[in-house]
Structure 1
Amino acid sequence: MINYAKDYSIKKMKKCFNIFLKKIDSIRVGSANVMLLSNISLIYYGKKVLLNKISRITVYNTKTLRISAFDKSINNIIIQSILKSNIDVNPYTKDNDVFVTVPLITSEKRTKFIKLIYKEGEIAKVNIRIVRRDVNTKFNNMYLKKNIDKDSKYKIEKIVQNVTNDFITKIDKTLYLKENYLKNN
């Protein structure tokens, strides 16, 4: 039972952590990165589709991304979707491809991005604490129904708290590294 609680907590908290990583990896810092366009979606033949599913996105140079759509007729739709996403980039077409120029980052935007990553970090921490609460509630109910004894309940709570602390520490370390990267690039 104790191992199940630990494994379940790790699995759920790892999912929260990975979502957090994906969100902060998509925050650009003045250089072209394909993750910048990872969350862009558009309507293609009546269905909402991610841009990277209907095109190949590559780094053309340090400030430009190249989008080679599998269907060249949707280049204008791609441009409109990128503009609607409010990621402060300048898309244009050239040679049947869409290019996205990433502007230089200002100190004001740098500060904005740092605030954004910390906001995402807080959201991830809250989600991890929600997992902790759910696991503890589940095993507390089992204790109340006499399915587990008091010692097992406390051991589970202690293990779940240790797993929670580990993930909170991982988030804090990731935030520290990302903040330094944003400040120095």
Structure 2
Amino acid sequence: MAQYDKSDLERRMAGAVESLKGDLSGLRTGRANVMLLDPVTVTVYGASMPLNQVATVSAPEPRMLSVQVWDKTNVGPVDKAIRSAGLGLNPIVDGQTLRLPIPDLTEERRKELAKLASKYAEAARIAVRNVRRDGMDSLKADEKKGEISEDERKRKEAEVQKLTDGVIAELDATFAAKEKEILGQ
């Protein structure tokens, strides 16, 4: 069991916030953005890889993404991965290039994107709670080993809880801002 390390907990929680911001930046509101495809993973060569490791993504027009697949045998798997990513995109295959017209955001599509953003936010909250649990576990282990007193453990647990509450509030604020942008309010 690792010894309690507040800076490690802060770093890991900040990582969850950055991860959420990255995921949310990929959710665009009707404009082409290469980050839209960041969450897409493709199964090629017997492994699951991020799309940007098998293709080049560009935005040649405001409402069009272009995916240039490096190996022509991967065109099918890339096409399938994009279609099944839940982004509402239907690639047009043109040789080793996939063109992705960005559809107008209908009310239904906005709600789907808001739901996806909510899913990302919940995953980030779970990650933060897992970090919190790890911190609490290491405090209990330190107390059991006699390295810290019960009072010190309780004080540090309150510190960890305060840190967790602050990070969760930041995640919620980030999600709320993105949800507002998606829903066009």
Shift of 1:171: 0.3
| Maintained 8 Å contact 2:23/2:39 | no
How many residues are treated as equivalent by the alignment? 182
Shift of 1:64: 0.5
Report SS of the residue matched to 2:67.
strand
Partners of 1:130 and 1:46 lie apart in 2 by 30
Partners of 1:122 and 1:43 lie apart in 2 by 25
| Maintained 8 Å contact 1:32/1:62 | yes
Report SS of the residue matched to 1:90.
coil
Shift of 1:143: 1.6
TM-score normalised by the chain length of structure 1: 0.83
Share of identical aligned residues, percent? 26
Structure 1 residues 95-125: Cα deviation after superposition (integer angstroms, max 9, x where no partner): 7522111111111221232233223323322
| Maintained 8 Å contact 1:72/1:97 | no
State the match for 2:180 in structure 1: 180
Runs of at least 5 residues in structure 2 that lack an aligned partner in the other structure: none
Cα 1:118–1:81 change in 2 (3 A) is closer
State the match for 1:120 in structure 2: 120
Q: Aligned AA for 1:81?
A: A
State the match for 2:12 in structure 1: 12
Partners of 2:180 and 2:111 lie apart in 1 by 12
Partners of 1:48 and 1:116 lie apart in 2 by 21
Structure 1 residues 156-177: Cα deviation after superposition (integer angstroms, max 9, x where no partner): 1122122112211210110121
Q: How does 1:1-185 map to 2 (within 5 A)?
A: 5-72=5-72, 74-94=74-94, 97-184=97-184
| More divergent stretch after superposition (62-71 vs 81-90) | 81-90
Report SS of the residue matched to 2:147.
coil
| Maintained 8 Å contact 1:55/1:67 | yes
Shift of 1:47: 4.1
Partners of 1:47 and 1:118 lie apart in 2 by 28
> What value does the CA root-mean-square deviation take over the aligned residues?
2.4
| More divergent stretch after superposition (9-18 vs 68-77) | 68-77
Shift of 1:182: 0.7
| More divergent stretch after superposition (88-97 vs 146-155) | 88-97
Shift of 1:139: 0.8
Runs of at least 5 residues in structure 1 that lack an aligned partner in the other structure: none
Q: Aligned AA for 1:184?
A: G
Partners of 2:122 and 2:96 lie apart in 1 by 42
Partners of 1:45 and 1:130 lie apart in 2 by 32
Shift of 1:92: 1.2
Cα 1:71–1:178 change in 2 (3 A) is same
Cα 1:134–1:72 change in 2 (3 A) is closer
| Maintained 8 Å contact 1:5/1:160 | no
